[in-house]
Structures are given as structure tokens and as C-alpha cells.
Structure 1
Amino acid sequence: MRPVSLVTGATGIVGSHIARALEQSGHAVRVLVRPGSDQRALSDISADVVEGDVMRPDSVLAAAQGCTWVFHAAAVFAYDGDRAHAQAELAVQGTRHVLHAAQQAGVRRVVVTSSSVTLGSTSSPQVLDESAVFADPQPAAYVTSKVRQEAVAFEAARELGLEVLAVCPTLVMGARDYRLGPSNASLANYLNDPLRSTFLGGCNVVNAEDLARAHLLVAQHGTPGQRYVAGGENLRWEALHALVSELTGTFGPALRLNHTAAYLAAAYVEAAARFAGRRPFVSRDEARMACRFYWYSSARLQALGWTARPARAVLSEALAWVIDRGHIADSVRSRLKLCPELEARHS
């Protein structure tokens, strides 16, 4: 009989790729999805779909019955303040519910999808690893929610006698992102920006398929109580945006925004969005973060045999998805001259 694994958050880019990787590795896959949720990301997976919600403990317990592993990837990934309460509730209470259900159902091991932001960031180029202690000034609500989630997960693991491990991805980019999360959206925002603005800080990017493989490796070979950074190349934002311009055959980056300029621009975007009754495409929290360095080492995960594709390949796949899904304005798309590797993915 094939082992059964439960995935929460399986309709999102991270959870759906975990579910797909599990199926490809021979696992029977069960996914917990909210009633009425968009399940397009699961269309090619033969998963046992169970309707429920991590905020409803009874539904999580029912879904966890008979499972060997649980992958908890459910999250509200957003930087607009409107969803801060939902983020915190899902990160803290949702995680508690999942871990208690896993323990009651006799699950052996739970892998929690955390975030590299729990390690913190730096004001100058420095590479952090899992030993880093979070001490960021003015953290965004999303960042705070992930820090709290990690603390709750490991505390509950000790209380319940459960094997819990955390995977800490960097900026996750790739295909099947039907909701267009902030990471892929940052590429669309750059191309749609007539000024092709860039920022002073730096980031790290990882492909969603590579991240899914990281989750399986951690489940198979990881040490309980440990967190594992899953990231690829560390890049300055200016270098990343220059690579995006090269891949799409366009100009830029043309304008480098310092912290103050980025913050003021985001404040204007937020005010205009509120006036128009829509969500802003960028927030002040994101502006603050873009001028810091989120550079990390994945040496601990690499010791388990994990590898990540280079940034160029990560961006090629993500850009093809963003363009194919119509997230680039027609007036901009018509002027792009996609490089051969991107054209091949796009077509």
C-alpha cells in the first residue's frame, strides 16, 4: 500500500507543487481544500480532495486520518494590511490545529512551510543561515505572522511529542500560480512600470518545483526541530531586474529608488488604490523590504542532496507564466522581444 500524505494549502503555488512532487514520488496524495476554492493548480494530480479548512480542527483531523506525513503549506501570502488579521489567525491557530490533528491521527512527521524571512534581513549585503536570530525593525504583518507560526510549530512539537520540521523558502516563483502571489507579481509590476524602477536591496529566488523537492527531502531525511532554508541565487534587485529586461528584450532598470522614494511611491499607490476601491499592486511594507537584503544560504538543505536551478531559469519559467496569464499590459507585451529560451517556454 502506498503511503498517504496530506497537503494543506494545496490550491496555491507551493502546496500544489508539493502535491505533484509527492504523486511523482509514489505517494498517495490527499489535499485539504476550502469549499469553492479554485482547484486549477491540481487539475493534473490524482489527489483525494477533502473539503475543509485548517481553521476547523474537526475537518483537519478527518483529513489527517491514515496519513504518514502532513505538509502544512496553507497561508495568506500578501503584504496589504487589510489581510493582517487573517494572516495571523491562519499562521498561529491554523498551525496549532494542523499539529494537534496530526498528533491525534497518529501522523509521524509534519513539514511546515515557513519562510526565509523568519531569519531576518540585513541593511548591507550579508548571507544568513538557519542560525540567524530575527531582529528586523518594523516587520511587515506577513513577516510577523511567519515568525509566530514557526515559534508555535516548534513549541507544539515539544508539547505533543511530534516530529516537526520547517522549510523556509525565499521568493517562490514559477508556473501554476493562479492567484498571482507577490513574488511572481513583482515581475509583472516591473514590466508594467513605465519607469522600470529598481531598488537598493537584494533578494533570493527559488523555483516552485525545486521547493517542492525540498519539502520531500526534508520529510525523508531532515532532523526534527530543524529549519531548512530553500533558496537559489542571491541577487541585488538591480541585477534581477536587469536579467528580466534581458530575457524580455526591453530596457531597464532605468530608475533606482532609495528607501524614501520607494516608500513614498508605495504610499501613493496604496492611497490611489483605496480611492479606486481595489487592492494596491505594491505596499509600503514591500517598499521597506525591497531596500534591505534578504540573502540566505541553503547549505543545510544541500547537505541532504538538494539543488536549485539558477536565477535565469527561475525567471524564465515565471515570466512565461506571467506573460501567458495576461498579467502584462497589452501595450507593454507588444513591445517585448522575448529571448529564445523564454519564447520556447511561452509558446
Structure 2
Amino acid sequence: MKPPIALVTGATGFVGSAVARRLLADGFELRLLSRKNSDRRNVDGLDATVVVGDLTDPASLQRAVEGCDAVFHVAADYRLWAPNPDELYQANVDGSRALVAAAHAAGVARIVYTSSVAVLGIPKNGTPGDERTPVTIADMVGHYKRSKFLAEEAVRDLAAQGAPVVIVNPSTPIGPRDVKPTPTGRVVRDAAAGRMPAFVDTGLNVAHVDDVAEGHLLAYRKGKLGERYVVGGDDMSLREILATIADITGRRAPKIQLPHAAVMPVAYFAEALSRFTGRAPVATVEEIRMSKKRMYFSCAKAKRELGYAPRPARAALEDAVRWFRDNGYL
């Protein structure tokens, strides 16, 4: 029997490469959408066909989805700072709309769209948010969150028109192959290297990147069309995350907790400096604003309906630290 053909966008990235590996292990024939000059270290050696295309080029997306049985749209512009914020909306909103529309027109049987918990509401009483927590675009801090919110709305509109879409909302993925690395990966790397002497009061839902990839496959197999599923792990304060990394590495955990107001001027200065250097700032205003809330979420729906079973967050941190160490990041 011929294996199903799946297109994975964003496969050169952190989550996308984990999804690609999981699909290969499940017997899929893979196509990987990649921009012409993308860093492809994360897919080197994979038994897959690389298709050159771009989310801002609708014609390339139409060619990429032709003949596919499934599409896993993982690609996104996740920068929390960009010299031109319009680029985030072009990739995340317009690109997602174009890809899902092209896949539907091409007769793709199922589309798994990677959203984010960043678009979900956070209860004011401190309990974890979930797929049903009320939220509006006014609650979205910064261009990244707004662009992802609008992107999911665009995809949900297409689903209402018949596109066979299942949505997954990953929390904070951590683990191996974070080559860039992601903003959270930088925190893990710097803490493991002893370069984080202080922290702010915030919290995240931490999930192993390979569990997030498993959640994508489960959504493809068992997810209800038009529904969304949080694929996450354990809620942890930043203090707990740093203490766990310190325990893993044998270092002393940082003790200094800084108020958000003390860090904000640093972020403003870093962004102003970046406009001259062209390099990403070491801290962004959006990051500090987001950190004022604890991003805690429940993946009970995915556990109940998909059979999702994430491993403990410590395992994700251990694998991330090991990978950073083995690959010279520390």
C-alpha cells in the first residue's frame, strides 16, 4: 500500500523538524517546504523531498500541495521583534490563509494547522487557560501574538467553509535541535551556561518538542475537524525552570528576582540599539510585557480526545541542555 504523502511547512525549524521526524517514523512520504536560502541543518539526512517555496508566494504553495494527502502547516514568523512588523502579518496571516486555501482546492484530505497558546485567553483568577477561555485581539500583546491570533481566525474561517482543518496550539516547546535557538531556548542555553544571574516573576507551560510533534500526529489521526487542541506539558514558574536547569547542570540557581519595571528600560534600549545594528535585541519590550502574565494552560482536552500523554517537563529540559552542550552552544 502506497504511504500517504504529507507536506510539512517549517520543517527546517525547531517544531517543524520534530514533526517531520515523527511523520517519517509513522511511514509518511514527506515533502518539506523550504525557502531557497533557508538553513537546512535540521533536515539534513532525512528521507524527504525538499520543495522550494515561500508563504508569501501563493503560486509556490499551490505547487507544493499538489498530490498531497495531508498538510502540516508548522511554519511561522515567531520573532518578538522585527524591523518591519508587516512581515509577520504577511507570513503568519496571509501565508496561512493562502496555504490552507491551496490545500483545500487541491483536495488534501486533512490539514493540521499549528497555532499557539499565545492566542488563547488567560484566566484572571490564576487557573490555567484552555481552548475555551474567552479572549479578544485586544488581549494580544505585540505583533507576534496579534499576527498568530489573526492567522488562526483566518484558518477557522476557511474551516467553516469546508477546509478539513484541525488546529493544534502548542505551549512552550523545549528539547533537541533548537538550532537558532528560540526565545525560550535562549533562556535554557544561557541558564545552562551560567549566564542568567537574575529573573522576573513569570511562568510557562513547558512541553518536550517531541511530545508536541506527537500531538500533531494525534490531531491528524483523531482530531475533530474545526476543533483546536492545546498540546502542552507542565506549568512551571521561571524560578522553577531555572532551579531545574541548575540541578541538571550542577550550577547554583539564580536568586535575584527583578521587578518588571526594572527590566523594561533595558528592553527599550536594546530595541533602539537594534535599529542601528540590525541585530535582534537581547530583550524586547514585547517579551517583558508578556512575562507579566503566567502562561499556564491545560491540555486536558488533547489527553481526553486524542490520547495525548506528555512526559515530565524535566525530561524536556534535560534533553535541551544535553543537546546544547553536545553541539557547542554552552
TM-score (norm: length of structure 1):
0.89
Question: Secondary structure of 1:36's match?
Answer: coil
How far apart, in 2, do the equivalents of 1:224 and 1:291 lie?
A: 34
How far apart, in 2, do the equivalents of 1:209 and 1:236 lie?
A: 22
How far apart, in 2, do the equivalents of 1:268 and 1:190 lie?
A: 23
| 1:127 aligned partner | 128
| 1:147 aligned partner | 149
| 1:288 aligned partner | 289
Pick closer, same or farther for the CA change 1:327–1:83 going to 2, 3 Å. Answer: farther
Pick closer, same or farther for the CA change 1:66–1:222 going to 2, 3 Å. Answer: same
Instruction: Give 1:277 shift.
Output: 4.6
Instruction: Give 1:276 shift.
Output: 4.8
State the aligned residue count: 327
Range with bigger deviation, 21-30 or 39-48: 39-48
| 1:47 aligned partner | 48
How far apart, in 2, do the equivalents of 1:267 and 1:192 lie?
A: 25
How far apart, in 2, do the equivalents of 1:212 and 1:83 lie?
A: 30
Say whether the 8 Å CA contact 2:80–2:144 is kept in structure 1. yes
Pick closer, same or farther for the CA change 1:296–1:162 going to 2, 3 Å. Answer: same
Q: How does 1:8-19 map to 2 (within 5 A)?
A: 8-19=9-20
Say whether the 8 Å CA contact 1:258–1:291 is kept in structure 2. no
Structure 2 spans left out of the alignment, 5+ residues: none
Instruction: Give 1:137 shift.
Output: 4.3
Which amino acid in the other structure matches residue 221 of structure 1? K
| 2:265 aligned partner | 264
1:318 aligns with 2:320: yes
| 2:235 aligned partner | 234
1:77 aligns with 2:78: yes
Q: Deviations over 1:9-66 (max 9, x none)?
A: 1110111111111110011111111112111111231011111112211211111111
| 2:202 aligned partner | 201
Pick closer, same or farther for the CA change 1:277–1:225 going to 2, 3 Å. Answer: closer
Range with bigger deviation, 130-139 or 94-103: 130-139
Question: Secondary structure of 1:127's match?
Answer: coil
How far apart, in 1, do the equivalents of 2:123 and 2:278 lie?
A: 35
Pick closer, same or farther for the CA change 1:276–1:38 going to 2, 3 Å. Answer: closer
| 1:331 aligned partner | none
Pick closer, same or farther for the CA change 1:96–1:17 going to 2, 3 Å. Answer: same
Q: Deviations over 1:109-130 (max 9, x none)?
A: 1111100011133566321110
Instruction: Give 1:325 shift.
Output: 3.4
How far apart, in 2, do the equivalents of 1:33 and 1:221 lie?
A: 28
Instruction: Give 1:85 shift.
Output: 1.6
Say whether the 8 Å CA contact 1:202–1:294 is kept in structure 2. yes
Which amino acid in the other structure matches residue 147 of structure 2? S
Pick closer, same or farther for the CA change 1:204–1:248 going to 2, 3 Å. Answer: same
Which amino acid in the other structure matches residue 323 of structure 1? R
Q: Deviations over 1:254-302 (max 9, x none)?
A: 2112221232232233344445552212211111112211000001111
Point out 4+ residue stretches in structure 1 off by more than 6 angstroms: none
Instruction: Give 1:249 shift.
Output: 1.4
How far apart, in 2, do the equivalents of 1:234 and 1:64 lie?
A: 37
| 2:253 aligned partner | 252
How far apart, in 1, do the equivalents of 2:26 and 2:204 lie?
A: 31
| 1:221 aligned partner | 222
How far apart, in 2, do the equivalents of 1:29 and 1:194 lie?
A: 39
How far apart, in 2, do the equivalents of 1:84 and 1:307 lie?
A: 36
| 1:89 aligned partner | 90
Say whether the 8 Å CA contact 2:140–2:146 is kept in structure 1. no
Question: Secondary structure of 1:317's match?
Answer: helix
| 1:338 aligned partner | none
Which amino acid in the other structure matches residue 219 of structure 2? V
Question: Secondary structure of 2:166's match?
Answer: strand
| 1:6 aligned partner | 7
Instruction: Give 1:246 shift.
Output: 1.2
Range with bigger deviation, 290-299 or 180-189: 180-189
**RMSD value over aligned CA atoms?**
1.8
1:156 aligns with 2:163: no
Q: Deviations over 1:187-214 (max 9, x none)?
A: 2244567562122121111111111110
| 1:21 aligned partner | 22
How far apart, in 1, do the equivalents of 2:33 and 2:127 lie?
A: 38
Question: Secondary structure of 1:88's match?
Answer: helix
TM-score (norm: length of structure 2):
0.93
Which amino acid in the other structure matches residue 101 of structure 1? A
Q: Deviations over 1:112-159 (max 9, x none)?
A: 110001113356632111001224646121111111111000102223
